[in-house]
Structure 1
């Protein structure tokens, strides 16, 4: 019986050490402390424990590694309605300027229609290209990129090269249930009618 009890204690201790090692590797001592605090809260709060168990049993669907479903959905719409991907991947080196111009005019019209239907855009800066603006301290570097001779701390004064765009609203249709979100356009195979 002592051997059996020692075996159980050893397994529990081994599992605990494995969790400790994983936690230390995954996020350091702070992550281990968070895990221990969460375990203590779950012990005191059965409702919390139940919510966590449910979440672990049926996790939210995760998009494929590094894939933005929104970007791919937009690309799929641009392909479906304007054949943008086909055009961009086509070798146009042998085409004449007139042929390219004619194709671009139609692609532009269709792609613009898709963009206006699914994304409400607004300029980041109200100033037009070429106008002088002041970029104040505390600006958002993801919204305003300051280039050129940048010295010292803001405020900076410079000319607008592009006023930028921000999506105020995105209205994309959902990917059909069970469909691979990475498919920009499905392959199309036409089956001919049987010969009589």
Structure 2
């Protein structure tokens, strides 16, 4: 793994036990009923392979207008559902004990979905880390450096694993090369759910 990715990149294997995973999936899917998964389109007009929704005051969206955060679901116009308390507690324990996240991106990977290398850089303040929770099928996670051409390394993320991008690794390029179909029975219908917690807006005054 590149030195930059090692600095500020933390992997917490099995941070959530089986019981916690089951409870969290139930909470997330209950909220998804009010904010259904949809397949977003990049500014260039290309449909993404993942399905997506959000939880919290702000949600990350992409369409012809660009990448941004907004307070409403782009299909229904309704506010995003709240972030489960278990995720807020995890953020406080691992990421930032003083200021909570205001966005939780929910990505659903099925049928060969993947995520190309990218940076999380649509947030107001990069001092806040990015916290990622894996649920369901295992995935091959690739992480590199701030420069796209920096060396990368692969890490297998299993259900219940948590990883943190902070400090110099906050803007590291990262993505999902592939999902190992059938490696978990946690998600109804199969697949993987990734929950990415961020502080999208500026900190409270």
Q: TM-score range by the shorter chain?
A: under 0.3
Which structure has the larger Rg over C-alpha atoms? 1
TM-score for the superposition, normalised by structure 2? 0.21
TM-score for the superposition, normalised by structure 1? 0.22
Identify which of structures 1 and 2 has the higher relative contact order when contacts are C-alpha pairs closer than 8 Å and 6+ apart: 2
Bigger strand fraction: 2
Bigger helix fraction: 1
